[in-house]
Amino acid sequence: MPLRPHPGLQIDGFTLGEKLHQGGFATIWEVTHPLHPGPMVMKVPVILDGYDGPTIVGFEVEQMIMPRLAGPHVPRVIAEGDFAVLPYIVTERLPGDSMLRLFGQAPLPLSDVIEVAARMAQAVHELHRQHVIHLDLKPENFLQRDTGEMVLVDYGLSRHADLPDLLAEEFTIPMGTFPYIAPEQYLRCRDDLRSDIFALGAMIYELATGRPPFGRPEKLKAVRRRLWRDPVPPRALNPEIPEWLQEIILRALEVLPQRRYQSAAQMVFDLTHPLQVKLTARAHRLQADGRMDVMRRWWAMRGVSSFGPPPELRAQVDHAPILMVAVDLSPQMEAIAGQLRRAVQRMLVLEPDARVACVNVIKTARIGLDVTTDDQGNNLHVARLVGLRAWAGGLDLPEERLTFTVLEGADPGAVLIDHADKIPVSHILMGARGHSSARQYLGSVSSQVVARARCSVTVIRAPRSPAAESPGETPQEVLDRAAALIQGEFREA
């Protein structure tokens, strides 16, 4: 490599400024470019003299993967350098420190743990949606935007489902960061997105207790212990940790991937719906397993070299979806509510690991205060929740796979879309009222959701009933009805 980076070096229009970070595999430099406004950083691999395999391949992997990523949870790539002159990647510079500083203050107050954990899991889910497993999740690889999104950096060990895996055939030693590496990753598996779930679990454990679940092993051999040795339950270290959070953490840290959360989205979902987390024996544990149990597991794991091939990565991403069902409980929608339930039942046959989020929207006026208590003094929220539960009763699903949420807003479509993004939902099911010309002109809630939601949307329509049709309307009649609809006086026939 003829060029060595140094402050003031000019390359491809970039001028190097201060060195921001010196790592084992790369240096990070502040850079400027007359054509690219805004703060940027340049990452340059530290390539030792001669052939430095691991660093080069790791950098090649980043060069393959990073330009394909999009969205707020990944750094935007601005330029790449020619390997023959100076290999580098220039990305936008993110403000502030990595999560490492925050982790230094762990244990954090519970509300912070939950909030940070949910944002970390959300970023991981967004990466998985792009068919990428990070495989080196650790506090220093999470940065933040001013707007709150976590940003994942360092893709040198990552795996893209649609690209050749340059690392797989190159090295036989497991790669990752010892405190957070998943057992199957130790066994050299690079195809399981649930490895990232394990790392998330280890990080949330550390945020909540102040120490990583498996200590900080320095030797690779010590990493193998996590195949049989369970971590001390978080509540044994910090009794303030609620059972539901321990349930989430220990589920993510299960040794066998199939016993963990099957997607980061489901983890986000539980972190944001604590009251609906189904508690198992994991939640109540107050000490690590006894010697006999551990011995038994050690015996079972001796000689194990793989947990078997995981499902194909793209299938894993689509697997374990969260279905959001927008249920309209109004009298004229009763027929559709039944149809909607049957549609959900059919989907559950195909997606046995799906979870169902039942949602109802209370429409409020755009201006002014709303009365969410009716004349009899019944709280409308409670009434709607009861209605949702009754609707879902017919689904015959266990509690832990259902959640119920009543939302409020002046614009039901927008409320549904926001909620779907937040959860994050993979598929929305909703009903649509009959065809009417007024709706065609004004747009319906379902058409708004179909147009703007980021996920798939299935719209269930009631069978046509001739009485509901209003044929032969003149444009004026349509406009009049539209005006009536705006004023809220319109009733569906």
| Contact residues: other proteins, CB under 8 A | 51, 53, 56-57, 59-60, 63-64, 67-68, 82-84, 87, 162-166, 169-170
Find the shortest distance in angstroms from Cβ 1 to other proteins.
Answer: 10
Instruction: State the pairing for strand pair 427-432/456-461.
Output: parallel
Identity of residue 229: R
Tokens 């909703």 identify what position?
Answer: 430
Give whichever of 5 and 274 is closer to other proteins, judged by the CB atom: 5
DSSP assignment of 166-215 equals TTTTT--S--S-TTT--HHHHTT----THHHHHHHHHHHHHHHHSS-TT-
Q: Are 342 and 307 in contact (CB under 8 A)?
A: no
What's the maximum distance between 2 C-alpha atoms anywhere in the chain?
A: 82
Give whichever of 112 and 165 is closer to other proteins, judged by the CB atom: 165
Find the shortest distance in angstroms from Cβ 426 to other proteins.
Answer: 21
Alpha-carbon span 18 to 228, nearest angstrom: 46
Q: Report residue 459: phi and psi, to 5°.
A: -110, 125
Give whichever of 82 and 240 is closer to other proteins, judged by the CB atom: 82
Find the shortest distance in angstroms from Cβ 162 to other proteins.
Answer: 4
Give whichever of 44 and 137 is closer to other proteins, judged by the CB atom: 44
Give whichever of 3 and 478 is closer to other proteins, judged by the CB atom: 3
Give whichever of 279 and 315 is closer to other proteins, judged by the CB atom: 315
Find the shortest distance in angstroms from Cβ 74 to other proteins.
Answer: 16
Any idea what DSSP says for residue 95? Answer: S
Helix (H, G, I), strand (E, B) or coil at 358: strand
Q: What is the dihedral of CA 290, 261, 241, 268, to 10 degrees?
A: 170
Nearest Cα neighbor of 87 from 118, 66, 109 is: 66
Find the shortest distance in angstroms from Cβ 130 to other proteins.
Answer: 13
Give whichever of 314 and 461 is closer to other proteins, judged by the CB atom: 314
How many other β-carbons are positioned within 10 Å of the β-carbon of residue 184?
A: 23
Q: Are 167 and 217 in contact (CB under 8 A)?
A: no
Find the shortest distance in angstroms from Cβ 76 to other proteins.
Answer: 17
Give whichever of 67 and 109 is closer to other proteins, judged by the CB atom: 67
Any idea what DSSP says for residue 140? Answer: G
Find the shortest distance in angstroms from Cβ 82 to other proteins.
Answer: 6
Q: Are 219 and 119 in contact (CB under 8 A)?
A: no
Find the shortest distance in angstroms from Cβ 21 to other proteins.
Answer: 22
Name residues whose C-beta falls within 8 Å of residue 91's C-beta, 6 or more positions apart in sequence: 40, 41, 43, 66, 75, 76, 77, 78
Find the shortest distance in angstroms from Cβ 161 to other proteins.
Answer: 8
Give whichever of 80 and 411 is closer to other proteins, judged by the CB atom: 80
Q: Is 155 exposed, middle or buried (0-12, 13-18, 19+ CB in 10 A)?
A: buried
Alpha-carbon span 120 to 103, nearest angstrom: 13
Nearest Cα neighbor of 491 from 471, 474, 468 is: 468
